[in-house]
Chain A
């Protein structure tokens, strides 16, 4: 049986929070930091970009370093293939000192769907090189199992397209992934509402990764808290065990006939 303890386990590291936060799209760094704190997350993604001489304030290292108990998970965004993703991962590890990497390879800017083949190749190489690899993948149970076999620490199937707010559109495939997986399953991308995060956790996901839904909310800090509650609620419900479904009514009060 999986899911027996309260902590999320990734590559030998344990996390109390089952909410992973992305740091993109926030209107300013202060809001991002407050949202991270409000979410209770212990793992956040960051992206690599060229140093900008005109805007050195874009650099997130300094503000993130001030946060306690937060691990960084550099992503490989911008990589068009496995070779570029491996190089991005190595740069990310050099810069963060963190063994975690979110492998994401999505060559088409219109739909940002992950390239399954290149993602597999990069994940395999990085896992062999000692990274704790969390690949962002299409919701494909066959691919998920192959990524488990090459040593990934988790798989991160998409709920819907990145930044779309499409919700858990891949719910049936995610169920199949969960059914067969011996590593954590983390829904990454597409979530819009905390209720969707709760649903993902209820059906057996081990964590969710949220960025746009928080960063693009009217109040990102409050939405971060709302997602934390959604994740907690869904996980608690799963642990508690949902009641069986019935096609017909099952009375809650005794149907005695003493009033006749």
Chain B
């Protein structure tokens, strides 16, 4: 493992941000998944197992924010100076941050999907509700969902490098995800393409969410699309970081 990657992983472990993000994501997931598993009414045609599992998708915005904080926090506290002195190759630094936050995203997603899977296995049987989802489909959903959380963390790293202001980056990132892109899908003609091929389209396809009424793309295509967005933000982030004067 490269020193830069090990350093970034240690940074994540040595402040409360990562632990706080995991706990907050888990708390919200527990609330919604708990409701879906414990009290939600189901009719025939519903897939209760998939609905409960899907609640782990709530982790996605937390992963995005965690990624955004990766670089913006370094600028905010000035730690970017010793960081770049230790790793002067800024592309290598970005690669390490992308890798570390990808790993953090996998952990975050893994914990959330693991938790909702437990609810499917333990709580639904108590209510005599059949999950109605095959093990293969559930694994496909969970793996796609976990990868999706990891990619959103990586996209966040890029966003947090492009937008210098930390608060602006967090608000901007979340607004785009939940407000701007959904609004854009309502546009005539182009709206459809934004819905299918925007970041939200990639997320829906990759995580096989049951909420959006099915995605246009297949799961692998969704993965490729999100990977493409990740690469785009990463390249733009590296270019920005390279050009920037580190003066604070």
Bound pair (A, B): no
Residue numbers of B with Cβ under 8 A of A are none
Residue numbers of A with Cβ under 8 A of B are none
